[in-house]
Amino acid sequence: MARPRRPHFSSPFTVDWNPAGAGILALYKFGPRGTASRRPGADALTLDSLAWVGARAAWFARSPATALTPLTPRDAALASTLAAGPLAGRPAWVAELAAMVAAGAKADLEALADGAGLGAVTDLVAAALNAGDWLP
């Protein structure tokens, strides 16, 4: 029996700027690692075309220091695990993790609002989408 073709569609994602957010993206893009990924059809659970739209380090360049929260040892360990594992072939994604570790900080999307409301976040995401500014 022929295997049905998976539909192809672009999947831009926006998550918090932290290792857990990158981990969520990796899970959707590459699928679960471990026993689940060895099951027949497990690759059908992935979104090959997933792109990391935001939040990214550059988005926080003008944010006040209070917008960022300290990276925990657990966050740093997760960043290292992701960079050496599922994201190893994605240099731009690894660079985002490295920026988090170098800054010793992470941030939620809401930190971008900086008193301007969530509309500011929506504007950033829309501008990134219109400019094709995402990490494949």
- The architecture of the domain spanning 12-129 is 3-Layer(aba) Sandwich (3.40)
Rounded average pLDDT over 55-77: 89
pLDDT of 35 reads 42
> What confidence score (pLDDT) does residue 4 get?
56
For residue range 82-108, what is the model confidence (pLDDT) as tens digits? 999 989 999 999 999 999 999 999 998
Q: What is the mean pLDDT of residues 10-26?
A: 91
CA distances from 116 to 7, 9, 50, 51, 122 (A): 38, 32, 29, 26, 11
Q: What is the pTM of this model?
A: 0.82
Q: Where are the domains of the chain?
A: 12-129
The string of pLDDT tens digits covering residues 108-126 is: 888 887 656 667 788 888 9
User: d(Cα 93, Cα 82) in Å, to the nearest integer?
Assistant: 9
In the predicted model, what is the mean pLDDT of residues 25-39?
A: 71
Q: Which residues pair with 70 in a beta bridge?
A: 105
Our separate counts of H helices and E strands in the chain read 4, 4
The per-residue pLDDT for 123 is 87
Helix axes 73-84, 19-30, angle to 10 degrees: 30
Please, which residues bridge with residue 49 across strands?
Answer: none
